[in-house]
Amino acid sequence: MLQRLAHFILKVCGWTPVGDLPDLDKAVFIAAPHTSNWDGIWLMIYRVALDIDIHFLAKHTLFWWPLGTVLSALGAMPLDRGVSASTVRQIKEEFAKRDRFWFALSPEGTRKWQPHWKTGFHRIAKAANVPIVLAFIDYPSKRMGIGITLPPPRDIERDLQSFREFYEPFQGRNPENKGAIEFPPNYRPSCGPE
C-alpha cells in the first residue's frame, strides 16, 4: 500500500525514477546534489517506491515516539555527535556484522554551500572495502535514481574525477548552494576516522 502511494506521488509530481539497483550485498550510496530539504523527502519517497532496504543516519534527537519508530522503519540509524566513538568505525562495524548492508548519505553534508565535500562516506567505503554507488536528484529534468558504481580499492583522485564527471549535469533545487566536488586539501583516507 505504502509503495503504491509512493509511486503515485512520484508520478503525480512529475518525477521519473531511473537506473537499476546494483547487484551488491554491501555498498555505500551517495546522493547529490543536496541543496534543499526537499532532496531528502523526494529520495525517501523514491526509496519507498522501489522498496530499497537502505540505511542512513539521522540526529539522535529525532528518535522520539512516534517519529523514531517511523524513522527506524525507513532505515534511519540514530547519530549522536556528542559520543566520542567514531561514526566511521560504527558504520564499518555495521558492515562487518551484516550479510547485506546498504548505507546512504550526502557527501555535501549540508544544504548550504560548502567549499568541499565531507569525507566520511569515502572513509567508510575504504574502511569497509565496499563499492560506492552514485545516486542523484536532478530538478530541471525531474529525474532521480541510481547511476554508476565505483568498485574498491579507493583512490582519491580517480574517485573525485568520477564524481565530477557523473554529477556535472545534475542540478539541485537551489543551484547556488552546490559547492565544488573537492575533498579538503589535507584529506588522506589513512589519517584516521573523521
Give per-residue pLDDT as tens, 141-165. Answer: 999 999 999 999 989 999 999 999 9
Q: What is the pLDDT of residue 28?
A: 98
Name the residue with higher pLDDT: 159 or 192. Answer: 159
User: Given a cut of 60, is residue 193 above it in pLDDT?
Assistant: no
pLDDT at 191 over 80: no
The pLDDT mean for the chain works out to: 91
* Percent of the chain scoring above 90 in pLDDT: 72
Question: Closest Cα partner for 117 from 180, 191, 54, 52?
Answer: 180
Specify the pTM.
Answer: 0.90
Across the range 19-33, mean pLDDT stands at 96
pLDDT given for residue 190 in this prediction: 59
